[in-house]
Amino acid sequence: MATCPQPPSFDKQLASLESHPLFMSSLPEDTADNPVLSALQSLVHDGTPVEIAQNFKEQGNEYFRGKRYREALGFYTQGVDAKPDDAQLKEALLLNRAACNLELQNYGLVLRDCATVITANPRASKAYYRAGLALLALERVDEALDVCTRAGEGVADDAGFRTLRARAEKKRDELRRKEEERRERVRRAGEERRRMAAAYAERNLINVPNPGGSTNPYAPKFDPEDATGGTLILPMFFLYPEHATSDVIPEFVEDTTFGAHLAAMFPSGAPTQPWDTEGKYVDDGSLVVYAMTRRRRLLKVGRKMTLRDVCRVAGGNGAVGLDGTSDGLEVKDGCLSFVVVPKGEVERKWVEEYKSLRERDA
């Protein structure tokens, strides 16, 4: 039994239909080898410039009503390119093209066409209106309001212009408020930087920024619970060179003791850290904390010392070195660093290595 031929698919039928000149959505550039297409192309450009432009305008209007703004734009442009000597027709083509560009958010092109229309016809209210919409979209609100004013008294009662002016005034107020808020943020940030710089200088802290380093999620700040606003909170690293690892204390209040932090991090009787396989890091009096100053001095930190105490000692009584700089603790990328080691052989070995490297680099 013979097999019945299958009908072509919908996509093939559509492709076949669109290949017919009468149903093409656009004509190809090269029509020389197709006499039907050549004839259709010549019909499009047949007639006077006004007739040709009018034809393109009508086609553009059809596409615009169908919200096919790019295609409509192309037809209006071809109408303008036909150079009709009818001023009203040319104005309509330019304004229609501006309407397409508004929908396509090509606001610069909207302003260009509207300016051309206004130059030729200063009373063209649609040109002012569409220029105002484009300026508002670009947040050039003062210019948008100026356009409303320049449109003249004839549009004072026009609902579109009233809405445009109201929107522009609202946007202007909004932008002014945002600018005031931005300036206030800048002012506060500047004041905070000056306060922090003064606090650093008072405490012998030396800021060492690291622009190429990783982003630090923590930052020095003033204690919000201190009514005087004079207590610093700084991020701090506890370094454990024996195991090449570290812990971060996000908020080390300068008036708390190092013993308090050691007790919280290495409580006696609690499980040790995973890297502390020998159980050496326990707060039973066997841990020692060291601070390194800018001049590579090594300071042993007592359990009862606060960060403020260490900062005072690190300053070395304010003496200035041969290089003209004073000593203190370095705040690298917003963080302080202290070394924690167990008493005994580990401590002795690390101190010797530190001093050896300091002498080598001197």
Q: Tell me: the pLDDT tens digits for 58-73?
A: 999 999 999 999 999 9
Which pLDDT score, from 0 to 100, does residue 24 have?
Answer: 52
353, two tokens: 């290595």
Per-residue pLDDT 10s for the chain (362 aa) are 455 556 666 566 555 545 554 445 454 555 455 655 455 455 556 789 999 999 999 999 999 999 999 999 999 999 999 999 999 999 999 999 999 999 999 999 999 999 999 999 999 999 999 999 999 999 999 999 999 999 987 787 899 999 999 999 999 999 999 999 999 999 999 999 999 999 999 999 999 987 766 667 889 999 999 999 899 999 999 999 999 999 999 999 999 999 999 999 999 889 999 999 999 999 999 999 999 999 999 999 999 999 999 999 999 865 555 556 789 999 999 999 999 999 999 999 999 999 999 888 87
Query: Nearest Cα to 131, choosing from 101, 170, 154?
Result: 101
- Per-residue model confidence as pLDDT tens digits over 10-54: 566 555 545 554 445 454 555 455 655 455 455 556 789 999 999
3-state secondary structure of 243: coil
CB 261 within 8 A of CB 310: no
Q: Got the DSSP string for 295-313?
A: T--EEEEPTT-BHHHHHHH
32-173 fold: 1.25.40
pTM: 0.64
Length of the chain: 362
Long-range pairs, 251-257, Cβ under 8 A, ≥24: 251/218, 252/307, 252/336, 253/223, 253/307, 254/203, 254/306, 254/307, 254/308, 254/311, 255/231, 255/306, 255/307, 255/308, 256/306, 256/307, 257/303, 257/304, 257/305, 257/306
Residues of the chain with CATH 3.10.20.90: 221-361
Q: For 331, how many CA atoms within 13 A lie in the half-sphere containing its CB?
A: 23
Which pLDDT score, from 0 to 100, does residue 40 have?
Answer: 46
Q: List residues bridging with 257 in a β-sheet.
A: 306
DSSP state of 335: B
221-361 fold: Ubiquitin-like (UB roll) (3.10.20)
Q: What is the identity of the amino acid at 282?
A: V
